[in-house]
Structure 1
Amino acid sequence: MANKKVFDVRLLRRLFSFARPYKRSFYGSITMTVLLAILSPVRPYLIQLTVDKYIANQWIQALITVSIIQVGLLLLETVVRFLFSYLTNWLGQSVIKDLRVTVYKKISHLNLAFFDKTPIGTLTTRTINDIEAINDIFSEGLISIIADVLMIVAILAVMLVQDWRLTLISLSPFPLLILATYIFKESVNKSFYQVRNAVAALNAFVQEHITGMVVVQAFSGEKRESVKFKKINREHRTANIDAIFAYSVFFPVVEIILASSLGLMVWYGANQVLNYQVTQGVMIAFIMYLNMLFRPLRVLADKFNTLQMGMVACERVFKVLDSDEYLPDTGTLTAQNLQGAITFEHVSFAYKADDYVLKNISFEVKPGDTVAIVGHTGSGKTTMISILNRLYDVQQGHILLDGKNIRDYKLSEVRSRIGVVLQDVFLFAGSIYENITLRNPAITREMVENAARLIGMHEFITQLPGGFDYAVMERGSTLSLGQRQLISFVRALLYNPAILILDEATSSVDTESEMLIQHAIDKLISDRTAIVIAHRLSTISKADKIIVLDKGEIKEMGTHEELLKKEGFYFKLHSMQFKKVADKI
Structure 2
Amino acid sequence: ASVNAYTKESFSGIQIAKTFRREKKVYNDFIQVNNQSYKVNLKRAFLLNAIFPTLGLIQGFVTMLLILIGSNLVIEGFVGVGELVLFIQSINLLFFPLLVIASFWPMFQTGMAASERIFAIIDTLPLVVQNDSIEPSKLKGEIEFKNLSFGYDKAKLVFDNFSLKINPGESIALVGHTGAGKSSIAKLIARFYEFQGGDILVDGKSIKDYDLNEYRKHVGIIPQTPFLWADTVENNIKYGR
TM range (shorter): 0.5 to 0.7
1-side partners of 2:130 and 2:161: how far apart? 25
Q: Answer yes or no: is the 8 Å Cα contact 1:140–1:303 preserved in 2.
A: no
Q: Answer yes or no: is the 8 Å Cα contact 2:129–2:194 preserved in 1.
A: no
State the partner residue of 1:342.
Answer: 143
1-side partners of 2:120 and 2:224: how far apart? 34
Deviation at 1:328, TM superposition (A): 4.3
State the partner residue of 1:307.
Answer: 108
Q: Which amino acid aligns with 1:380?
A: G
Deviation at 1:137, TM superposition (A): 8.0
Kindly name which structure, 1 or 2, has the bigger radius of gyration based on alpha carbons: 1
Deviation at 1:144, TM superposition (A): 4.7
Q: Answer yes or no: is the 8 Å Cα contact 2:146–2:200 preserved in 1.
A: yes
- The answer on 1:327 being equivalent to 2:124 is no
Segments of 5+ residues of structure 2 without an aligned counterpart are 17-30, 79-85
Q: 2:190 aligns with which of 389, 403, 416?
A: 389
2-side partners of 1:439 and 1:390: how far apart? 17
2-side partners of 1:111 and 1:269: how far apart? 76
Q: Which amino acid aligns with 2:146?
A: E
Q: 1:437 aligns with which of 234, 238, 241?
A: 238
Deviation at 1:379, TM superposition (A): 1.5
Q: Answer yes or no: is the 8 Å Cα contact 1:344–1:362 preserved in 2.
A: yes
- With normalisation by structure 2, the TM-score equals 0.64
Which whole-Å deviations, capped at 9, do the CAs of 1:16-57 have from their partners, x for residues lacking one? xxxxxxxxxxxxxxxxxxxxxxxxxxxxxxxxxxxxxxxxxx
State the partner residue of 1:65.
Answer: none
| Change beyond 3 A, Cα 1:436–1:397 | same
User: Secondary structure of 1:355's partner?
Assistant: coil
- The answer on 1:380 being equivalent to 2:175 is no
State the partner residue of 2:200.
Answer: 399
| Change beyond 3 A, Cα 1:392–1:321 | same
Q: 1:274 aligns with which of 77, 88, 99?
A: 77
Deviation at 1:424, TM superposition (A): 3.1
User: Secondary structure of 2:175's partner?
Assistant: strand
Q: 2:225 aligns with which of 424, 427, 440?
A: 424
Which whole-Å deviations, capped at 9, do the CAs of 1:230-287 have from their partners, x for residues lacking one? xxxxxxxxxxxxxxxxxxxxxxxxxxxxxxxx9x999866423439xxxxxxx99x96
User: Secondary structure of 2:174's partner?
Assistant: strand
Q: Answer yes or no: is the 8 Å Cα contact 1:136–1:307 preserved in 2.
A: no
State the partner residue of 2:24.
Answer: none
Q: Which amino acid aligns with 2:209?
A: D
Q: Which amino acid aligns with 1:433?
A: E
Q: Answer yes or no: is the 8 Å Cα contact 2:133–2:212 preserved in 1.
A: no
Q: Which amino acid aligns with 1:392?
A: Y
Q: How does 1:231-246 map to 2 (within 5 A)?
A: none
User: Secondary structure of 1:397's partner?
Assistant: strand
2-side partners of 1:325 and 1:111: how far apart? 14
Q: 2:164 aligns with which of 343, 359, 363?
A: 363
2-side partners of 1:362 and 1:372: how far apart? 15
Q: Answer yes or no: is the 8 Å Cα contact 2:13–2:229 preserved in 1.
A: no
2-side partners of 1:132 and 1:295: how far apart? 30
1-side partners of 2:230 and 2:144: how far apart? 38
Segments of 5+ residues of structure 1 without an aligned counterpart are 1-95, 113-126, 163-261, 276-282, 441-585
Q: 1:409 aligns with which of 210, 214, 228?
A: 210
- State the number of aligned residues: 207
Q: Which amino acid aligns with 1:309?
A: T
User: Secondary structure of 1:352's partner?
Assistant: coil
User: Secondary structure of 1:438's partner?
Assistant: coil
User: Secondary structure of 1:344's partner?
Assistant: strand
1-side partners of 2:130 and 2:182: how far apart? 25
Which whole-Å deviations, capped at 9, do the CAs of 1:378-399 have from their partners, x for residues lacking one? 2211111111111111111111
2-side partners of 1:326 and 1:111: how far apart? 15
- Aligned-pair identity in percent equals 29
User: Secondary structure of 1:372's partner?
Assistant: coil
State the partner residue of 1:451.
Answer: none
Deviation at 1:407, TM superposition (A): 1.2
| Change beyond 3 A, Cα 1:428–1:300 | closer
Q: Answer yes or no: is the 8 Å Cα contact 1:110–1:325 preserved in 2.
A: no
Q: Which amino acid aligns with 1:312?
A: A
| Change beyond 3 A, Cα 1:433–1:307 | closer
State the partner residue of 1:460.
Answer: none
Deviation at 1:318, TM superposition (A): 1.6
Q: Is the deviation greater in 396-405 or in 131-140?
A: 131-140
1-side partners of 2:231 and 2:122: how far apart? 29
User: Secondary structure of 2:165's partner?
Assistant: strand
| Change beyond 3 A, Cα 1:439–1:380 | closer
User: Secondary structure of 1:346's partner?
Assistant: strand
Q: Answer yes or no: is the 8 Å Cα contact 2:200–2:207 preserved in 1.
A: yes
- Structure ranking higher in helix proportion: 1
| Change beyond 3 A, Cα 1:329–1:139 | farther
Q: Which amino acid aligns with 2:134?
A: L
Q: How does 1:120-519 map to 2 (within 5 A)?
A: 140=45, 144=49, 270-274=73-77, 291=93, 293-328=94-129, 331-428=132-229, 430-438=231-239, 440=241
RMSD of aligned Cα (Å): 4.8
Q: Which amino acid aligns with 2:136?
A: A
- With normalisation by structure 1, the TM-score equals 0.29
2-side partners of 1:318 and 1:387: how far apart? 27
Q: Which amino acid aligns with 1:419?
A: G
Deviation at 1:420, TM superposition (A): 1.5
